[in-house]
Amino acid sequence: MDYAAPGCYFVTIVTAERRALLGRVRDAALIPSPIGSVVEAAWLAIPTFRPWVRLGTFTLMPDHIHGVLSWISVPRDRAGSLSIVVNGMKCDATRRARAAGLLQPEDRLWQRSFDVRFILSRTGSIRVHHYILNNPRKAWVKRRR
């Protein structure tokens, strides 16, 4: 799979050691922590640095994020690959968290890689959209049992 090709990608990025650093689920919604707010800002900044990328549905969870990234054009260089975009966001979030004093220099924010699924159809896109939006509610219901 060419992860620099036009299309939609569903990505999941997990915190180091699955630590619940990004917030907590309460009343079926995620309440972001200060680090979670920094991560969300870094995600929203992706198109600033990679203007060919469009952001889709996104959510924070206590120990991971889910989001959809769409390519609207293919850059000529490899700076457009999905790995470069996601790793750039991870570095930006880590840098922002350290600058705000929320993360120590020796602490890692993220696991090394990330999970990706190529969204092949409109039906798949709708399914991913609902999955992402319902994830905090599902975690809340599960926790209450």
Residues 11-25: pLDDT tens digits? 999 999 999 999 998
> 40: how many CB neighbours lie within 10 A of its CB?
19
Q: Is residue 143 over pLDDT 90?
A: no
Fold of 7-144: Alpha-Beta Plaits (3.30.70)
**Could you count the other beta carbons within 10 Å of the beta carbon of residue 20?**
14
**Assigned token pair, 77:** 């260089």
Rounded CA separation 89/93 (Å): 6
Predicted TM-score (pTM) of the model is: 0.90
Q: What is the DSSP string of 30-93?
A: EEE-HHHHHHHHHHHTHHHH-TTEEEEEEEE-SSEEEEEEEESS--SSGGGSHHHHHHHHHHHH
Taking the domains of the chain in order of start, what are their residue ranges?
Answer: 7-144
pLDDT in tens, 18-71: 999 999 988 878 999 999 999 999 999 999 988 889 999 999 999 999 999 998
